Amino acid sequence: MPDHKIPQVTAKRLPLYYRYLEKLHAIGKQRVSSADLSDALQIDPATIRRDFSYLGELGKKGYGYNVTYLLQFLRDFLKQDEVTNVVLVGVGNLGTALLRYNFYRSHNTKIVAGFDQDPAKIGTDVDGIPVYSLDRLQEVIQLHHVEVAILTVPVNAAQSTADFLVKAGIRGILNFTPARLIAPAHVRIHNIDLTIELQTLIYFLKNFPDGEEEM
């Protein structure tokens, strides 16, 4: 894949190219020139050539572009740009901080909703991200195609909440609780225990102040 950073104006035109190439593909057309694309889409040919040049070596001079190849290429390229929607359960101190942390700015990941059992929190929002009761989990994850959940409930609620998430269709859990969760094999769990990480760091500083570790 070429460099992912392409100008925004180009990125906006890619779906237009994609749709038109799908049409060409459907009628069995195998090649298309930038002039043909230009006529059909009302974008000048130089712009089209420049757009495509950001994507890498896609066409030969005088030959035009191979429709199937270009279509596949754009499909993969646009997929990279898809946003992965995530939910968070347990809108306490840590949960709220993570909702406020804008994952989306630097990565294509977005927390679409928070969930909590506290009636005082249900129906509120954190920086525009709504907080719902877990009754609405299924509906929200279906609507936003969510497969990943961040878990920031208290440790004693961790396993039952994880079970509930798995039942609803969640396949990945980022577990911030100290609980070691049990889940079916198809579910991936990543553990981030901030307390342990901090304690481990302090332990190493105290016991190996010069940086060398015992083998």
Binding site for ligand ATP (CB under 6 A): 89-95, 116-118, 121, 134, 153-154, 157, 161
Rounded least distance, CB 24 to ligand ATP, Å: 50
Between the alpha carbon of residue 39 and those of residues 43, 91, 155, the distances in Å are 7, 52, 61
Closer to ligand ATP by CB, 24 or 162: give it: 162
Find the DSSP H helices in 27-102.
34-41, 45-55, 67-80, 93-100
Closer to ligand ATP by CB, 160 or 200: give it: 160
Q: What is the CA radius of gyration of the chain?
A: 24
Position of tokens 């609620």?
A: 157
Rounded least distance, CB 186 to ligand ATP, Å: 23
59 Cβ neighbours under 8 A, 6+ residues apart: 34, 52, 65, 66, 70
Closer to ligand ATP by CB, 83 or 194: give it: 194
Count of H-run helices and E-run strands, the chain: 9, 10
Rounded least distance, CB 69 to ligand ATP, Å: 49
Closer to ligand ATP by CB, 59 or 95: give it: 95
Residues in the chain: 215
Rounded least distance, CB 116 to ligand ATP, Å: 4
